[in-house]
Amino acid sequence: MRENGDEDSGEGLAGADLSDLRGVEFARRPYRQYTRDWDHDHCESCMAGFSEDAPGDLREGWTTTAEYEPGAEYTWLCDSCFGCLQEQLGLRAVEDARSVRPLGAAPAIGTAYHKPYRVHD
Tell if the pTM clears 0.85, that is, is over it.
no
For residue 107, the model assigns a pLDDT of 52
Structural domains of the chain in order of their starting residue, each with its CATH number: 19-96 (3.30.1740)
For residue 7, the model assigns a pLDDT of 46
For residue 104, the model assigns a pLDDT of 53
SS3 content of the chain, % helix, strand, coil (to 5): 15, 20, 65
- In this model, does residue 118 exceed pLDDT 60? no
pLDDT digits (tens, 9 = 90+) for 78-101: 999 999 999 999 999 998 655 555
Q: How far apart are CA 95 and CA 65, in angstroms?
A: 10
Q: What separation in angstroms does the CA of 73 have from each of 40, 43, 58, 69?
A: 12, 12, 14, 11
pLDDT class of 67 with cuts at 50, 70, 90: confident
